[in-house]
Chain A
Amino acid sequence: MRKFETVEAVAAAMDMANVDTDQIIPARFLWRARAEGYGALLFNDIRSEADGSAKPDFVLNLPASAGAGVLVADRNFGCGSSREHAVWALSDAGFRVVIAPSFGDIFFNNSFKNGLLPIVLPEARCAEIRAALARNPGAKLVVDLEAQEVRGPLGINDGFRIDSFEIDPFRKELLLAGMDDIAFTLSQQGAIDAFEGRYAAEMPWL
């Protein structure tokens, strides 16, 4: 997994609540191999018409959204299925950060495993940032994981400012190090073995 370094990227705003994983990546694409890439399929059915042509008003089809690396969304983003493809689609399309008032739990967990940083900011603040982005298309946000800050573009105040966010220290550590958690877990083998002995004694019927 690549290290998460400070991201400075165009931010795109998505004004829909409950964006589910079926919308992020429709089920019919899930048999594709990871190596084939999912970026082009991100939001396929809401981004394009049935004939494959792009819907001109969808945020990621706007010229100002080109190269977007930060998505600012609404509540319960990524709800629905456990498909990690939803995270792959976002990260293959170049996103490194999603900011929302809340996330689907499994999507939230999956994000960290793929170096995509999900940031929770208050609902009202997310709405302000989305409005500021609407007024300033193509504006870049800076996401500094070390400092736990989201910063607006230099010199533009119009609704942007510095927002601090919370993150679990363990997840922060793994992201910053680009460390994989299997390797970390295996380093705890002594504790695992001891536990398994106790567990088997407690539940001999397993």
Chain B
Amino acid sequence: MARTMLDKIWERHSILVRPDGATLLHVGRHLVHDGSRAGFRALAERGMRVRHPGRTFGTPDHYVSTRGHTLAAIPEPNRREMVSALAENAATQGFTLFGLGDVRQGIVHVIGPEQGITLPGLLMVCGDSHTATHGAVGALAFGIGASEVSHVLATQTLWQSRKPRAMRVTVEGMLGFGVTPKDVILAIIARIGAGGGSGHVIEYAGAVFRAMSVEGRMTVCNMSIEAGARAGMVAPDEAIFAYLKGRPFAPKGAAWDQAVASWRDLASDPGAVFDREITLDGAAIAPMATWGTSPEDAAPITGSIPSPALAPDADRREAMERALAYMGLEAGMAMQDVPIERVFIGSCTNSRIEDLRAAAAVAQGRRVVIPAMVVPGSGLVKQQAEAEGLDAVFRAAGFEWREPGCSMCVGMNGDLVAPGERCASTSNRNFVGRQGRGARTHLVSPAMAVAAAVTGRLTDVRTMMGGV
């Protein structure tokens, strides 16, 4: 029978299936971060050790300071402890750590692919919902909770009560000038809703993804969870093999050839049946921005804020009204009239080198009019950006250039948006209070974030770049 990529990876990792369908899955590689402390504690309480330290990789990201790349740069003892606990666990349990002071440290979802830890055909987990990012190379990767983290540490396995359903989102055609992967995923979520992928793993297919860079696919897969999906994935192709070849934890020599041969069989078979299919026209997607408090509250930058009166049902109407009240916005207002007071470029969605290049291309020769910062996704991204002179472009434009970490995406390290302040952010969540209590988040692409920083309002970057 024709199988989907999800079927293939799932079956390859199934250890046993109970009569009721509950499946014990092997975890190919496990990623941990400074927020995984509870999982390690639970392991220690049982007096157990990490079963496969060689398949476990960690880096601190949520609690690290973006002002200095040392433990001492973290002023609060509680946060410092979260970071030092990871280092202690790595030392006692013997897994690989990319710690502070190591140029390879960064946001866990940036360094997984960067180091070649993330590989096609693997089942990967991490105690973080944006683990979906790793699906971009053709892995099945999803987030788990602290109890599950301790289960994986102890056994390298995970129980799933049933296989998720398969959903395919096909985007055909070609993206227009100035339209980026971030816009594609925001358009998809606006279409299917924040719960639209619930219970499913989304496979992204079609000409737009085939033509999209590997890093762009990561941006898309990253936000699968914002559509409610368990994971997102793209079938591996030559672009993926070229991206992974030579990375430190990717196979080498004869093993590489053997691996690539096996990865070529991963794509969903022709005729494989998906539980749900959605199709979008890539050419119809404009640069997007969110106006509300759910990623589904996204609209084209050329449009206006939708009216709750036109909501399909009472629930949605109330949710929209609540969102507009929180955001301090009125229905009918042009998206480009929304003022912006702060800009954050970073997060596991948009902090890779291509994101920084796209942002720098807009920042070049311009000046920001509001506070704005760039936080690279990893030390290696930062190093590369500096080698290309991007940091100089950002600094000259008035951006702060920081050390790698999650930073203002979630503010756990203290990089917060002030109450009531309106921030254009390249991150993935615009939830109430996500970037700080009372903070108002507008999700955008890196290029759109720079455009907003330069004008102090949401701006169609295409007009700035002479495209429209």
Contacts and interface: CB of A to CB of B under 8 A. Distances in A.
A155 interface: no
Interface string B417-433: 00100000000010111
B240 interface: no
A188 interface: yes
A79 B228 contact: yes
A9 B407 CA distance: 41
Contacts of B267: none
B129 A81 contact: yes
Contact of A196 (B20, B22, B26, B48): B26
Interface stretch (A12-20, A60-68, A90-98, A131-139): A12-20
B128 A81 contact: yes
Nearest to B314: A127
A186 to B, nearest CB: 7
A22 B12 contact: no
Contact of B145 (A22, A113, A170): A113
Contacts of B258: 204-205
Contact of B433 (A22, A81, A185): A22
Contact of A195 (B15, B82, B432): B15
Interface residue range, chain A: 35 or more
Contact of A23 (B18, B150, B432): B432
B147 A50 contact: no
Nearest to A23: B432
A84 B194 contact: no
A171 interface: yes
A109 B144 contact: yes
Interface in A151-206: 168-171, 181-182, 185-186, 188, 191-192, 195-196, 199, 202-206
B24 interface: yes
A80 B148 CA distance: 17
Interface string B238-266: 00000000000001000110110010000
Given A182-B155, A185-B159, A206-B55, A80 B419 contact: no
A205 B147 contact: no
A170 B161 contact: yes
B294 interface: yes
B198 interface: yes
Nearest to B412: A27
B251 A205 contact: yes
Interface in B37-68: 38, 41, 46, 48, 55, 63
A181 B151 contact: yes
A16 B317 CA distance: 11
B429 A22 contact: yes
Contact of A46 (B164, B198, B262, B432): B432
A34 B129 contact: no
Interface string B146-177: 11101100111101011010000000000000
A31 B155 contact: no
Interface string A1-39: 000000000000001111010110011101110100000
B143 interface: yes
A188 B35 CA distance: 29
B198 A102 contact: yes
Nearest to A46: B432
Contacts of B161: 168, 170-171
Interface in A107-125: 107, 109-110, 113-114
Interface in B107-129: 119, 121-122, 127-129
Given A170-B22, A182-B154, A196-B26, A82 B419 contact: no
Given A76-B194, A205-B251, A195 B26 contact: yes
B129 to A, nearest CB: 4
Interface in A68-84: 74-76, 79-84
Contacts of B41: 34
14 contacts: A15-B318, A18-B195, A20-B432, A23-B433, A27-B410, A31-B63, A80-B429, A110-B146, A170-B22, A185-B157, A186-B154, A192-B156, A203-B28, A205-B251
Given A28-B437, A106-B143, 6 more contacts: A20-B431, A22-B434, A27-B411, A82-B145, A83-B145, A206-B55
Interface of A: 15-18, 20, 22-23, 26-28, 30-32, 34, 45-46, 50, 74-76, 79-84, 87, 102, 104-107, 109-110, 113-114, 168-171, 181-182, 185-186, 188, 191-192, 195-196, 199, 202-206
9 smallest beta-carbon distances between A and B, as pairs? A205-B251, A113-B147, A110-B145, A170-B22, A76-B195, A169-B20, A84-B146, A205-B255, A168-B161
